[in-house]
Amino acid sequence: MARFEILDGSAAPLGEGAAAGDMLFELGMMHSIGRDVPIDLISAHKWFNLAAVRGNREAIRLRREIADQMSDAEIAAAQRAARDWLKGGPTGAPAVPAPAIAA
């Protein structure tokens, strides 16, 4: 069975449906428990929020759970980050650079 590691948002799928939600959920898990990255509840909330939008029900529960540990300002920052990511803004999903072409 294949195993995929996601270390940043640029590797997350931009498609719709359960598979996209599952990948975004995994990013939320990484940031919420500090798996391969430092614990960051704002980022975890952002990724769980995006996973919830794409249909991941477990993300809804965990987003609520970590929100209980966050200030209103932190929740607002996470929501802004999720909106920016969806828009591809400054803190959103980075553009994937074009591959270099050998001359």
pLDDT in tens, 23-50: 999 999 999 999 999 999 999 999 999 9
User: Is 97 part of a structural domain of the chain?
Assistant: no
- Domain of residue 61: give its range: 16-87
Residue 77 lies in a domain: yes
What percent of the chain has pLDDT above 70?
67
Residue 6 lies in a domain: no
Long-range contacts of residues 3-12, Cβ cutoff 8 Å, at least 24 apart:
5/36, 6/30, 7/36, 7/37, 9/47, 9/85, 9/93, 9/94, 10/93, 10/94, 10/96, 12/93
pLDDT higher than 60, residue 7: no
pTM: 0.71
Report pLDDT digits (tens) over 45-68. 999 999 999 989 999 999 999 999
Q: Domain for residue 42, yes or no?
A: yes
Q: Which of 99, 31, 24, 32 is nearest to 54 (CA)?
A: 24
- How far are the Cα atoms of 22, 41, 45, 86 from residue 77, in angstroms, in the given order? 23, 10, 10, 14
